[in-house]
Structure 1
Amino acid sequence: MTKRCMLSLTIAGVSLAVSPAVAQTVGDPQNPIFRNMYTADPSAHVWADGRLYVYPSHDIAPPRGADLMDEYHVYSTNDMVNWVDHGEILRAANVPWGRPEGGFMWAPDVAYKNGIYYFYFPHPSGTDWNNTWKIGVATSTQPAANFTVQGYIQGLESLIDPAVFVDDDGQAYLYYGGGGIAKGGKLKANMMEIDGQMQTMQGLVDFHEASWVHKRNGLYYLSYSDNHDQNGDHNRMRYATSTSPLGPWTYRGIYIDSTDSYTNHGSIVEYKGQWYAFYHTSMLSGNDWLRSVSVDKLYYNSDGTIQMVKQTKQHGTPHFATPLAIPGTIQAEDYDNGAQGVAYSDGSPQNEGGAYRPNEGVDVGAIPSGGFHVGWVSTSEWAEYTVNVATSGTYTVSARVATQTANGSSLRILFDGKKVGTLAVPNTGEWQTYTTVSTQVNLEAGKHIIQLRFGDAFNLDSLTFTKQ
């Protein structure tokens, strides 16, 4: 695993070159659902043809933060298994006020009214991009082709993440924001102008960005990304409800926990009687700015509140054919068999250390005193281990670690996708000077998947689980 943002143009055996229409088969669960290119910020809609369409943004490799995002594609499905990439519908070069450098085509959304599809997208008009955002509008008579830019919505602040909700009476509402500001307002019938003034959305807790509004049983839901960033975890998805599309809103809680990506951005839609939550992760790339869209089922409680979404992904198989035993010691290099995004996520395709399992992506180096360590790690990288816990109870988990990183690092431990503990990794002074750090975790008996999520730049030799 590497501290550098170096990726090849092939991920999980799939070329990033995209033809105008690419059919893909994705099992259940095999998140992320789009693997022919990097996608983020999914906006999901069901149109009159009975298909579900997803309009994501596009991360371009090698990344430079979020600067290079460009070239919107559209995906669709009629069964939530087989997805079609309909190809590119818009890029910065098609935008009259667009930056000559391109990029900065961030999270979009789409609305349909009176036979026209309206594609809303943010794009700045100057080098000072953060202060020159415009919300552009492109239209088409088709949901996934032939969009033409009509201009941008006048009179808006320099904010991002447009989302449009069309109510049962045909009235359309625009929401946007960023940096802690959330605003909403009515759109005129032409879908290109604000009717009145944009309003600050009242009642939201810890709003960051990524507004999305849907309606169920007469209740309006506004979901969004928060500012959470601690202990190696990042943005979560929260939501609030109201009896009015413009609030005031009543905060309800978190419905998607942090993923392995620094950011979070999602949409909620019903398709064929089942509700779904779309979001993005970095599981294919191991890089915060090379993201991939995922989807999982979403459920409501009887009172209308949303249950926590269970994030799913495809898993590998035990390296030694049978699960590793707990209590016991797990060597870091004995992660599960499987590909990038399945058994591990690594920021470079080659094994930087090459000392063990040299044809796989996880970076394994030799320890001078004997054995191996997983090293060259960075934030967003992870590795999984299939284990069998003998008995339920409290366990002390001890990690043997080393780092020269001045402020140390961290290691998060997840069981079946749920975080059970975090270990602080101190600066040990040398890359091969090891120390042991411990914490206590509560585990249930049976077969489980441990996922280790790495902080920046340290070596991991092993984990030992001891029953208390």
Structure 2
Amino acid sequence: MRKKLLSPFLSGTMLLSVLFGFTSSSSADDPVTLSGNPIITSIFTADPSAHVWDDGRIYLYPSHDIFPSRGSDLMDKYHVFSSDNMVDWVDEGEILRADDVPWGRPEGGFMWAPDAAYKNGTYYFYFPHPSDSNWNNSWKIGVATSNKPAEDFTVQGYIGGLPGSNLIDPNVFRDDDGTYYLYAGGGGVSYGVKLAADMMSIEGPVKQFTELEDFHEATWVFKRGSLYYLTYADGNPGANRMRYATSNSPLGPWTNRGIILDPVYNSETTHGSIVQYKGNWYLFYHNAQISSNGTLRSVNVDRLYFNPDGTIQKVVQTSNGVPAVGPRSHATEIKYYDIINNNYSEYTQKTEFAMNASNVTIGGGATRSGGNIENMHTQGSYIQLSGINGGTGGKALLTVLYSSGDSGTAFKVDASGDTSAEGYFLSLPGTGGWGNYTGRTNRLIDLNSGTNNIIRLGGGMGGANISRVIVSLIPNAPPLETEYPMSGSNVSVGGGAVKSSGSIENMHIPGSYFEVTGINGGAGGQALLTIVYASADNQATVKVNASGDSSGNGYSLSMPGTGGWSTYTGRVSRLIDLNSGANNVIRLSGGMGGTNVSRIIVTLNP
């Protein structure tokens, strides 16, 4: 089994994994946080199977469209996602791939729509996979198990006694009496059967549901009250719709009820699951909103409503998604709303790279023409930037400036900090011409700390000419409060003042002073200066000069006595002005009473 890759905040997988909250509200006092659609953006996912387990979280078990697009036949690498509020989703990591299936098709791939179930402390993961190179006639429903919902799954075998042709899209339903049923089917054929107690074999005959109207694939069964519901994708020409039927029995006969989901954006397929969570009913489904490619799909969610007679209202597909049903939490997924609205205002530390710079190399058919890189439509073409500064590591904003005469292009982006090795999808919409360098596209990537990062842009998925690449970081915020001890190497004295055991003394002498350099003023403006001191005099006064004081007059600061030259209980403060950056100087001048200073503290405005 593959080791689980739990992405830290924020995840470094393929599309985006930083959380920017998307909120809307009915009033300023009543903010509502929305999930946005699609909800899964770190990798391309489809065919979502949703389950609520005993830990109170909702889990998604989708299939995974591999990027760059290799077609549905080569789908692989199942991930699990979870949430406790329907808004903040965590990529729990990879749980299974074709390489883990000992009886599977030798060429791999064909890891299509899965499902999961739980019984007596064991989680069961059901997945379709062919057992032979002749994939269409050798389908099996594999079973992997774990004592955890999102890791450590081990393949146990497959369910025997099922048809080998068109046996895809497994769905396992638990009835109120604890009985489990397996549903599967594709190519216009729908099956259902009772599972035996071991959850890996069948009990009784396999039933074919011939009464379903225009059944194509994607079965999902759930129960509400005493009524059983079966949803599925129909064979509507051009793009599937989602239909449903109802029954008084888990194995039918089924009564057709109609359409609950119209064709989805940019995808010929449809596949979903319906689940109740924290009092609400939801439909999870996929579309190709991000990629505009039907083999690179993304999971969405919208509310589902029932009529008083138990029939289902047609689901309205939205870009906003659904409201949160709990407080905000740790998450790895960015809202799609922020992807398309370029909400990256914090990334202000920018470095631009011209395409003829010494750290930019090309290959695979890409060529330089003037200061631009062309022929990125060629399979295997790439641009590689080395020596990229990742700051302290984590998220960076990649911006590509380009022209394109194609209607739509995509790059695969690889970056040093991407621990998933999935790469990132970068969309480059057409600009109307190869010489029209008005294109500007962004995406968040992951970089390691330091200046040895590499970013690689892979082409071969449409044409784009690249003029510049910009890498932007969030500047490291200076600490709000910084202490400067008088023993520091950035502290100098003069005019009779001396350093003694970590303190500055003899500040009673006319002309005495000490100066502290390298003071961080943050963004500049007012800062609070605090002096910690001891004094046996009744009162002392110092003059303060600071880099940001454009008047040149300085500041006067009174320091009441503390009762002794070693009694460092004195603490006085005043506002001063500093310049932006870390090159400020603060100078304290004495000669107006005695004081020994142990340290100064500079506090910036947040």
Q: Same-fold call, TM > 0.5?
A: yes
Shift, 1:346, TM fit: 4.6
1:49 to partner: Cα distance = 0.3
- What amino acid does structure 1 have at the position aligned with 2:186? G
Pair 1:165 & 2:173 matched: yes
Post-superposition offset of 1:30: 1.4
Partner amino acid, structure 2, of 1:221: Y
Letter in 2 for 1:198: V
Which residue in the other structure is 2:428 paired with? 350
CA spacing shift, 1:294–1:249, aligned 2, 3 Å: same
* Identity score, percent: 60
TM-score normalised by structure 2 residue count: 0.50
1:118 paired with 2:196, answer no
Query: Which of 1 and 2 has greater Rg?
Result: 2
Task: Note the alpha carbon deviations across 1:238-270, whole angstroms, 9 max, x for none.
Answer: 000000000000000100110121110000000
- C-alpha distance after superposition, 1:156-201 (max 9, x if no partner): 1121000000101010000000000000010000001010111012
Preserved CA contact (<8 Å) 2:431 2:439: no
Alignment partner, residue 72 of structure 2:
66
Q: Distance in 2 between matches of 1:110 and 1:26?
A: 30
Q: Deviations over 1:362-413 (max 9, x none)?
A: xxxxxxxxxxxxxx99xxxxxxxxxxxxxxxxxxxxxxxxxxxxxxxxxxxx
Whole-angstrom distance in 2 between the partners of 1:67 and 1:263: 14
Q: Does 1:77 align with 2:77?
A: no
List aligned pairs for 1:390-401, cutoff 5 A: none
Aligned position for 1:246: 251
- Secondary structure, counterpart of 1:160 in structure 2: coil
Where do residues 99-110 of structure 1 align in structure 2 (5 Å cutoff)? 99-110=105-116
CA shift for structure 1 position 277: 0.1
- Relative to structure 1, the CA distance from residue 238 to residue 180 in structure 2 (aligned partners, 3 Å threshold; closer, same or farther) is same
- Residue number in structure 2 paired with 1:302: 308
- Per-residue CA deviations over 1:307-334 (Å, capped at 9, x if unaligned) read 01010115668xxxxxxxxxxxxxxxxx
Question: Cα offset for 1:350?
Answer: 2.7
The 5 Å alignment of 1:199-218 reads 199-218=207-226
Partner of 1:46: 52
Alignment partner of 2:275 out of 227, 244, 269: 269
In the aligned structure 2, how far is the partner of 1:357 from the partner of 1:256? 40
Q: Secondary structure at the match of 1:67?
A: helix
1:33 to 24, 35, 39: 39
Closer, same or farther: CA 360–237 of 1 in aligned 2, 3 Å: farther
Separation (CA, whole Å) in 2 of partners of 1:357 and 1:251: 54
Which residue number corresponds to residue 193 of structure 1?
Answer: 201
CA distance in 2: counterparts of 1:271 and 1:33, whole angstroms = 16
**1:268–1:351 distance in 2 versus 1, CA, 3 Å:** closer
Q: Which residue of structure 1 lines up, in the alignment, with residue 288 of structure 2?
A: 282
Contact 1:26–1:33 (8 Å) recurs in 2 = no
Check the 8 A contact 1:25/1:81 in 2, yes or no.
Answer: no
The residue matched to 2:240 in structure 1 has which SS?
coil
Pairing 1:235–2:240 present: yes
2:226–2:248 contact (8 Å) kept in structure 1:
yes
Q: Give the aligned residue type for 2:254.
A: W
Corresponding position of 2:264? 259
Q: Secondary structure at the match of 1:241?
A: strand
Look up the SS of the partner of 2:169 in the other structure.
Answer: strand
1:36 positional shift: 0.6
CA shift digits 1:340-374 (9 cap, x unpaired): xxxxx95533344444682147xxxxxxxxxxxxx
Q: CA deviation at 1:99?
A: 2.4
Structure 1 pair 140–264 and aligned structure 2 pair: CA distance change class (3 A): same
Indicate how the Cα distance of structure 1 residues 24 and 202 shifts in structure 2: closer, same or farther if over 3 A, else same.
farther
**8 A Cα contact 2:229 2:247, kept in partner:** yes
Contact in 2 for aligned 1:286/1:347 (Cα 8 Å): no
Letter in 1 for 2:251: L
1:359 aligns with 2:365: no
1:67 Cα offset (Å): 1.6
| 2:48–2:285 CA contact under 8 A, matched in 1 | yes
Q: CA deviation at 1:61?
A: 1.2
1:177 paired to 2:185: yes
Partner of 2:450: none
Matched, 1:219 2:227: yes
Counterpart position of 1:368: none
Change (3 A) 1:151 1:18: farther
Question: What secondary structure, in the 3-state scheme, does the structure 1 residue paired with 2:275 have?
Answer: strand
Aligned length: 321
Distance 1:116 1:294, change over 3 A: same
- How far apart in 2 are the matches of 1:217 and 1:276? 16
- Please list the CA deviations of residues 77-114 of structure 1 after superposition, one character each: whole Å capped at 9, or x if unmatched: 00001100000000000001122322110000001111
Q: Unmatched 5+ residue regions in structure 2?
A: 1-9, 23-33, 321-336, 342-398, 400-406, 411-426, 442-461, 464-606
CA contact (8 A) 2:409 2:428 kept: no
Distance, in Å, in 1 between the alignment partners of 2:152 and 2:18 is 20
Aligned partner of 1:128 among 123, 128, 134: 134
Following superposition, the deviation at residue 217 of structure 1 comes to 1.2
Query: Equivalents in 1 of 2:259, 2:18: separation in Å?
Result: 34
CA distance 1:347–1:220, change in 2 (3 Å): farther
Q: Which amino acid aligns with 2:219?
A: S
Q: Partners of 2:299 and 2:78 in 1: how far apart? A: 14
**Contact conserved, 1:186 with 1:196, CA < 8 A, in 2?**
yes
- SS class of match (1:93): helix
* Contact 1:25/1:83, CA 8 A, preserved across alignment: no
Tell me which residue corresponds to 1:145.
Answer: 151
Task: Give 1:139 shift.
Answer: 0.5
Structure 1 gaps of 5+ residues are 1-12, 318-338, 340-344, 362-375, 378-468
SS across alignment from 1:350: strand
Cα distance, 1:83–1:227 mapped onto 2, change above 3 Å: same
What letter matches 1:87 in structure 2? G
Measured on the aligned residues, the alpha-carbon RMSD in Å equals: 2.5
User: Contact 1:209 / 1:226 at 8 angstroms: preserved in 2?
Assistant: yes
